[in-house]
A and B are shown apart, each in its own frame.
Chain A
Amino acid sequence: MENKFFVDSQYLSKGALEKKHRLENDPSSRTNHMEYMPGMEVIESDVRGQVMGQVEAYDYSKYTARDVRAALDHATCSVEDFKALLSPAAEPFLEEMAKRASLETSKHFGNTVYLFTPLYIANYCENYCVYCGFNCYNHINRMKLNLEQIEHEMQVIADSGMEEILILTGESRAVSDVKYIGEACKLARKKFRMVGLEIYPVNTDEYRYLHECGADYVTVFQETYDSDKYETLHLLGHKRVWPYRFDAQERALRGGMRGVAFSALLGLSDFRKDALASALHVYFLQRKYPHAEMSLSCPRLRPIINNDKINPLDVGEKQLCQILCAYRIFLPYVGITVSSRESAQFRNGIVKIAATKISAGVSTGIGDHESKYTGRDEQGDKGDEQFEINDNRSLHAMYDDMSDEGLQPVLNDYVYV
């Protein structure tokens, strides 16, 4: 059963509704998603070709139990081995995969688990991505924090003990421009040991500017590596340009960022192919930029405001676990982040197998940390959330829970140089 993404808001004007419907129903009304828009930097890179060549040739139905056993027997996991581990043939081997993944995690990361929190500073968005709560046709409370409000939010988070922050915005260059994001980074550097960014993709010189402002890690989710499917989900806005998004991490590294993070939003398209593409994106970029730190996330679709029917379809917890084990065995050195989209029970289990980083004290809304952290109702407006979270543990609850699981929570493993 497919997800029903299209929801009409009663607040949209007749003209807006007509345009929305046209975009949804008439592909010819949409721009070419493979064509760069004015101002978008084109870089010379062979990484996209390397990744997509492998993904297009991937037929996971041809892998057998024998291939999976061989993959688990090999000391080093090849691309072919990884493909076998992602295939349906590997499903019966989940426990063996988990044991191997756990071993690799402990060899490379010991018993540590890193904690961080996201901070959404604005939820204005110019894109129509049909599954996202921030999409421009979704009727939600929009908000952009001013610098004073950002500083206040950051102080509340810093007071909780958090040392790493991930700054997010909706994708609106017009409302949340690069300079505004840069100012937020400067504020964050004063209060946190590590500042990451998850914003709309920008050009190399803009990444360089944001790096100078204090950001050192860039996360960009490709959502799906299936460009045909991508075209049907991202109907309007700059996000529609699939190749510009694909090259974002490479531009970020060229702009001086220390590390980059990748992901597909599992459930949008064929999750096995998307998982393969995400990991190969890391694999080939790492070969080209061996000094860069890389990490993978693994978000699944979640319900959003005005559409509680959205779900991750055939990506159940077992499939998610299989993907994460395969990631860990193939790329033992990369960080793996599991977000608060997943349940506390799943996160408690997966940090002992493959994940190395989890969020805590999470809000995907705008300007509501004080009320969420302290229970005090703040004055003023709040912006609505991007998606529903599943695990709402505070930093302290998470710290204690991870310690109880026998893990060493780490709030900072970073020094700016």
Chain B
Amino acid sequence: MKYRKVGKIMINDDKLVIGGHEFSSRFILGSGKYSMKLIEAAVRDAGAEIITLAVRRANTKEQENILDYIPKGVTLLPNTSGARNADEAVRIARLARELGCGDFVKVEIMRDTKYLLPDNYETIKATQILANEGFVVMPYMYPDLNAARDMVNAGAATIMPLASPIGSNKGLATREFIQILIDEIDVPIIVDAGIGRPSQACEAMEMGAAAIMANTALATAGDLPMMASAFKQAIEAGRRAYLAGLGRVLTRGASASDPLTGFLR
């Protein structure tokens, strides 16, 4: 059991391990839409220990540079948004390292500005190059088992499948395929993009996802801190449910009193 009781206190020994680094929180703040209030709520109320950062946004002279607002102890996860192929993603990742963002990188490669769907093929190529350069590579991908295996073989530290189109808040539209990744892939599966409600985050965690990344769901909420706290609780609840082992779910009505296989001798 990952939780143990010491006196009346529940200790969380259940760590999220990415590339050898341990995290207690399983909520990751996505980038894209941010405000300083969002970062504050994500860290304080959702307990985020990893915050994604769009390098293209950080590459600024702006007075309110997002880098200045990341609290100490929080791990930066720069992403390569804006990249249209592996080559561009690699260059953005290297720029992130130069900017002092560390070795974590979320590879995002999109060749479509309408739906912003990730390009798995280019992502595999970028993963290979960046993993060889010592980056902790977290590829954002469309949930495809073959592509996920290729990314792991290329050195990915996690796999980050999308739940539904980015920014859509539509929840687990790719549920079945994410479940296959959870069942078959040995590195942590972090569900990214499309999670719009705490209940959806909870469901993904119950399925066995290692963590949830969200941004729009918080950024567009009426009360940021309250929504951040709701996500924290939902993710923790889902994780505990997964660790506890979900109980039997009856698919239709009550179970038959006479067993179907009763005729067997």
A residues neighboring B (CB under 8 Å): 106-112, 161, 163, 193, 286, 290-294, 333, 408, 410-415, 417
Contacts and interface: CB of A to CB of B under 8 A. Distances in A.
Contacts of B83: 417
B55 interface: yes
B59 interface: yes
B112 A290 contact: yes
Interface stretch (B20-28, B88-96, B141-149): B88-96
Given A161-B62, A163-B61, A411-B62, A110 B82 contact: no
The DSSP consensus for interface residues of chain B is loop
Contacts of B110: 291
Contacts of B82: 414-415, 417
Contact of A108 (B35, B95, B167): B167
Contacts of B59: 193, 412, 414-415
B12 interface: no
A411 B60 contact: yes
A286 B116 CA distance: 13
Contacts of A413: 54, 56-57
A157 B92 CA distance: 27
B92 A111 contact: no
Interface in B66-104: 82-84, 87-88, 91-92, 95
A8 to B, nearest CB: 47
Contact of A109 (B33, B56, B111): B33
Nearest 9 A/B pairs, CB to CB: A110-B33, A417-B88, A415-B56, A412-B60, A290-B112, A291-B111, A408-B35, A107-B167, A411-B62
A256 to B, nearest CB: 11
Contacts of B112: 290-291
Query: Most B CB atoms within 10 A — which of A110, A112, A163, A408?
Result: A110
A413 B168 CA distance: 21
A412 B57 contact: yes
A291 B167 contact: no
Contact of A408 (B34, B54, B95, B216): B34
The DSSP consensus for interface residues of chain A is loop
Contact of B220 (A110, A291, A294): A110
16 contacts: A106-B219, A107-B167, A110-B33, A110-B34, A161-B63, A163-B62, A193-B60, A193-B61, A291-B110, A291-B111, A408-B34, A412-B57, A413-B54, A413-B57, A414-B56, A417-B92
Contact of A291 (B54, B91, B113): B113
Contact of B33 (A112, A161, A193, A294): A112
Interface string B17-53: 0000000000000001111100000000000000000
Query: Most A CB atoms within 10 A — which of B33, B116, B215?
Result: B33
B5 interface: no
Given A107-B167, A193-B60, A290 B113 contact: yes
A111 B113 contact: no
A300 B115 CA distance: 30
Contacts of A193: 59-61
A308 B55 CA distance: 46
A290 B119 CA distance: 12
Contact of A412 (B56, B87, B167): B56
Nearest to A289: B113
B229 interface: no
Interface string B214-227: 01100110000000
A410 B57 contact: yes
Contacts of A110: 32-35, 215-216, 219-220
Query: Most B CB atoms within 10 A — which of A161, A333, A412, A417?
Result: A417
B114 interface: yes
B169 interface: yes
Given A193-B60, A290-B111, A107 B169 contact: yes
A290 B114 CA distance: 7
Contacts of A106: 33, 216, 219-220
Contact of A107 (B54, B88, B95, B216): B216
Contacts of A411: 60-62
A112 B34 CA distance: 8
Interface in B199-233: 215-216, 219-220
Interface in B117-132: none
A317 to B, nearest CB: 26
